[in-house]
Amino acid sequence: MGFRDPDAEALPRFPNIIGGQREESGSGQRIPHIYPATGKVTREIGMASAGDVDRAVAAARAAFPAWRAMPGDKRRDLMFKVAALFEAKSSDFVPSLVSENGSVAMVAPYMGYDAAQKFRYFGGWCDKIHGRTIPMWGGPAHDYVAFEPYGVVGVIVPWNGPLFAATMVIAPALAAGNCIVLKSPDLAPYSVMKLVEMLHEAGVPDGVANLVTGAADVGEAMVAHPGIDKIEFIGSGATATKVLTSAARSLKPVGLELGGKSAVIVFNDADLMTAAKKGLSGAISSNGQGCVNGTRLLVQRGVYDQYLQIIGAMADHVQAGDPFEASTVLGPVISQTALDRIQGMVDRGIGAGGRIVAGGKRLEGDHADGFFLPVTVLADVPNACEIAQNEVFGPVLVATPFDTEDEAIALANDTEYGLGAYVHTQNLRRGHHVARELQAGMIHVNGAGEAMQPNAPFGGFKKSGHGRLGGVEGLHEFLQPKNIWMSMAASEAGQ
């Protein structure tokens, strides 16, 4: 049984969309895109160059005055139109999402629906962006604060969830009155190409949203470009360091949503079946390639063996398969390089004292041409070892026992990351206390990802980044406060 290949004719053809013009190739090099489930080329993509970035920025700057001046109700109605189109055509994203990085067809339509929800939520803010007045002393004066867009925002999104990440930024940025230059990742270009096409189909004016597809050199050109007023970067910490270094030369503001090594804390009183199902999602969501996935299982010793037995059995029943099949739950990781890196981390984790509860080795047979690893659970992992401290970015969970509540909190916080955390307990006091003590930007108690909706803030502590996307906090990431003081004193000439 072989896996089907993507239909190249069903995939978007325009890696660059600049000033409303769809371009089948940029002026940079051509790079073959590899479908992770079969290792075959879907299409060669004509990458953008620094010159294409120049054109995209010029188009955005030309469009900005009119977009900024558009009345809030008009922009609101247009954002709602985008939302309605994305909702009606959510299935149109499926070929792109599956083909670009092996996302499974089971969840792919939800990504279009999620995009619609973001545009609808932030569209509702367009006619509600208001300032405030501030009482003055020391003389009669009127002082007020106005919130204004930055201008042109450069958006760089990762390959693991480009549509989800792009809409998380673009919806609030456009609602705030900014124009966009968006870089589609070279490893997973298609869903973002489709996104920008549909923005124009919905009636977003030319130049308001521009797309360039490219690798690191295109991102570097965006960060350094004097015509881009703010950068929003979603990706790895290593790349973020380079982004910040470049942006510092022009003192350009940068928003960062970076990696994570999120703990799943399971207490003795937890509903173990629920905790195991939720815990397993950390290995399955985005094929384990999610920054906020719960991948460190910290389990209280009284239920440690029982929990591992349950989650191990569940993991063994998760069959990796053809991403285009509606029943497939787990797809491939992004590349052979990623697969080799993940396997090396698992092997070193075993060497550090871990033991395999489920999975552990690359899938062969029908899966041999793709980049497949089964759901892997590694138990008895010391919290200080590599695989417990660093992102694996694959379908791998590591488990460590603990004895007390304080120990659980200390283990969970003993990492340089602070994006998410998950707590399983039936004790309300404990749930609130542990959530308060955890150093992470998003905490779920007896859940796993339900809070990631447009009206809730999302972002990290420590090396997981700074700034927030989602909610009113996410809107204000793309607005600058301006304070205006106006004297109300009578002029001498008028006395």
Active site residue ranges: 257, 291
* 282 burial type by CB count under 10 A (0-12 exposed, 13-18 middle, 19+ buried): buried
Residues in the chain: 495
Helix ranges restricted to H, 24-107? 50-69, 72-88, 94-101
- 132-134/465-466 β-pairing: unpaired
SS3 state at 181: strand
Place of tokens 């906020």: 292
Round to whole Å and give the CA distance between 163 and 234: 12
CA dist list (Å): 452 to 79, 420, 440, 442: 20, 11, 14, 9
Phi then psi for residue 231, to 5 deg, are -110, 135
DSSP 8-state code for residue 381? -
Round to whole Å and give the CA distance between 164 and 454: 11
- 396-402/294-300 β-pairing: parallel
Round to whole Å and give the CA distance between 295 and 282: 6
Query: Long-range contacts: 213-216, Cβ < 8 Å, 24+?
Result: 213/15, 213/16, 213/26, 213/45, 213/47, 213/48, 213/183, 213/184, 213/185, 213/186, 213/189, 214/26, 214/28, 214/47, 214/48, 214/49, 214/52, 214/183, 214/184, 214/186, 215/31, 215/47, 215/186
DSSP string, 325-369: STT--B---S-HHHHHHHHHHHHHHHHTT-EEEE--S---GGGTT
Phi then psi for residue 422, to 5 deg, are -135, 130
DSSP 8-state code for residue 187? T
DSSP 8-state code for residue 258? -
SS3 state at 193: helix
Nearest to 375 by CA among 348, 391, 388, 357: 357
Phi then psi for residue 142, to 5 deg, are -115, 120
DSSP 8-state code for residue 458? B
Q: How many CB atoms lie within 10 A of CB 240?
A: 20
For residue 453, give the H/E element and its range.
Answer: none
